[in-house]
Amino acid sequence: MISLEVIYESYPDARLHTIVSEGYTVKHALINALDTVQLYLHSEEAEDMTISEILNAIDDQNGDGCAFIYSIKNLNTDETYLKSEYYSHTRY
């Protein structure tokens, strides 16, 4: 099971959230995260996309009238897939 830590600020209340999204693959863990984090990219659309396409779509629309994702990190491998320049552990 793949576990992704997603740190995001919800819209419009600007609250910081940390979730762990799980799936049998990185792609499915990302898709499961989309169901929780409110973005314009929906899980149904992401089914036909590659991991890179999903991450690019998230990055392109990040914070545009929707949630702002600060980071997406694979807890199994410690690999960071997305990290905003605005994110700092000391800030929160």
| pLDDT tens by residue, 13-62 | 888 999 999 999 999 999 999 888 878 788 888 999 999 999 999 988 88
C-alpha 10/C-alpha 60 separation (Å) is: 17
The H or E element spanning position 72 is strand 68-74
Q: Report the distance separating Cα 71 and Cα 92, nearest Å.
A: 13
What pLDDT, on a 0 to 100 scale, did the predictor assign at position 92?
43
Whole-angstrom distance, CA of residue 7 vs CA of residue 75: 13
Q: How far apart are CA 29 and CA 13, in angstroms?
A: 25
Q: How confident is the model at residue 12 (pLDDT cuts 50, 70, 90)?
A: confident
37 Cα distance to chain centroid: 7
12: preceding bond cis by omega (within 30 degrees): yes
pTM above 0.85, yes or no: yes
At residue 65 the predicted structure's pLDDT band, cuts being 50, 70 and 90, is: confident
